[in-house]
Structure 1
Amino acid sequence: MNSSKMHLLQAKSLLISVSLLALLSCAIIALNGCGPSDEERITEALTTELETIKSHDDQFISSLVSEDTQQALQNVNIDAKSFCSSLLDGFDYQINSIEANKATAQASVTITCKSLSDATSTLKSDAETSSANGTGTNLTDDELSQTIAENSLDYLQNAQPKQHDPITISLSLQDKKWEVDQQAKSTFAQLLL
């Protein structure tokens, strides 16, 4: 075989190899582009978590109310589920941004919700004003506490949700699935309470 045919054969082989590598690279890029991005998967994980709150999920409500709190509500004839549902009315959220870094991510989320402490403060203030201006009876501290407990559901139902400053929620990649860290659940509960 002469050297020009050999060079031509090597050039064709090289061209075929380069073409196959380019085709393989395109196929890998296309396959990677088929699935959802990390940001989409993180958004889905956050949405799933936050929708359990927004939809008044029974499991979330159960985690929000301890047995002692349930008993205290029963003592003043308030159903714990109704109480929590009133608290969760108007809950909403907005995912502002997501920053993913390999197996961890941080999301900035703005929460809009009622606050039990705000409703209780309003009720206590109204009861004290009523007692001080003579439109109500002079209540002892125990009677004032009882009145607050008995009227808390009405005040909670009438409370308006407010938008809170953005919070940062951490997520981690567990078995190829993004999971909201447990600390976030505590943060959600603190905003509500």
Structure 2
Amino acid sequence: MGYVKLNNRVSTQKILSGAAALLLALAVMVALPGCGGGQSDEDVIRASLSQELDSIKNIDDSFVNEFSESINMSQLSVYGIDGVEFMKAYLDGFDYTIDSIEVNGDTAQAQITLTCKSYTAYAQALQDAVNEITSDPEKIASVNGSDSEINDMVGGIVIDSLNGVDLATTEPIIINYTKVDNTWEPASSTSGDIAAALMTN
């Protein structure tokens, strides 16, 4: 019975979707537009990017609380994982560089590189932890508790796996901008490009 219940609870794809939701939301945050105010176009874009990336890097409580409310972490709450706790663990060590900004009239390109916990390493660590438990007869035999106890154990696996993941740098990300009514708007593909980089690092 423990084996069946445990395997029904431990779906790595379901758990990873919580991390995916976080990374997709981060991608949207990074892609916010910038408005001019007497600064050069390059400075406006750099300031806008820096403001958003610094709020992620510094993981201040107001940012984390507001941000956690804006994304769906319900997949993780089932396992007794607090969304804020998960975010802080995932973003621990986050950093960035703005490699270059090139402005050409009403278009511009910014190149950034992000550093954060490796999503691929997290996915592998999570799968390895799940495999270790579900392939050990003694551990399976010990899992005869209630659903909430099993879920709490799964939650422990998730956080332990995440805490053990090393930082990794993304490939350089190009953000294309167009100036519309004195506001630099990122291309519609920007969020997808950033999310893809974060989810393959």
- TM-score, normalised by the number of residues in structure 1: 0.63
Question: Which of the numbers 34, 52, 56 marks the counterpart of 1:53?
Answer: 56
Matching residue of 2:76: 73
Structure 1 75/126 Cα, relative in aligned 2: closer, same or farther at 3 Å? closer
Question: If each structure's helix is expressed as a fraction of its own residues, which one has the higher value?
Answer: 1
Shift of 1:135: 6.6
What is the CA–CA distance in structure 2 between the aligned matches of 1:73 and 1:137, rounded to whole Å? 22
Shift of 1:166: 0.4
Confirm or deny that 1:118 pairs with 2:124.
no
Question: Which of the numbers 43, 56, 75 marks the counterpart of 1:40?
Answer: 43
Confirm or deny that 1:90 pairs with 2:93.
yes
Look up the equivalent residue of 1:104 and give its one-letter code.
T
Shift of 1:49: 2.4
User: Does the 8 A contact of 2:91 with 2:117 survive in 1?
Assistant: yes
Matching residue of 1:10: none
Structure 1 residues 78-157: aligned runs within 5 Å: 78-129=81-132, 131-132=134-135, 136-137=139-140, 148-157=154-163
What is the CA–CA distance in structure 1 between the aligned matches of 2:92 and 2:188, rounded to whole Å? 23
Structure 1 residues 150-165: aligned runs within 5 Å: 150-165=156-171
What is the CA–CA distance in structure 2 between the aligned matches of 1:84 and 1:51, rounded to whole Å? 15
* Greater C-alpha radius of gyration: 1
User: Does the 8 A contact of 1:94 with 1:111 survive in 2?
Assistant: yes
User: Does the 8 A contact of 1:96 with 1:109 survive in 2?
Assistant: yes
Q: Report which structure shows greater RCO (CA 8 Å, sep ≥6).
A: 2
- Runs of 4+ with deviation above 6 angstroms: none
Moved more, 105-114 or 174-183: 174-183
Matching residue of 2:21: none
Q: Which runs of 5+ in 1 are unaligned?
A: 1-34
Q: What percentage of aligned pairs have identical amino acids? A: 31
Q: Alpha-carbon deviations, 1:37-89, whole Å to 9, x = none?
A: 322222112112222322332344444x32xxx22222111111111121111
User: Does the 8 A contact of 2:170 with 2:198 survive in 1?
Assistant: no
- TM-score, normalised by the number of residues in structure 2: 0.61
Structure 1 47/181 Cα, relative in aligned 2: closer, same or farther at 3 Å? farther
Q: Which runs of 5+ in 2 are unaligned?
A: 1-37
- 3-state SS of paired residue (1:82): helix
Q: Alpha-carbon deviations, 1:162-187, whole Å to 9, x = none?
A: 01110111223243243444543444
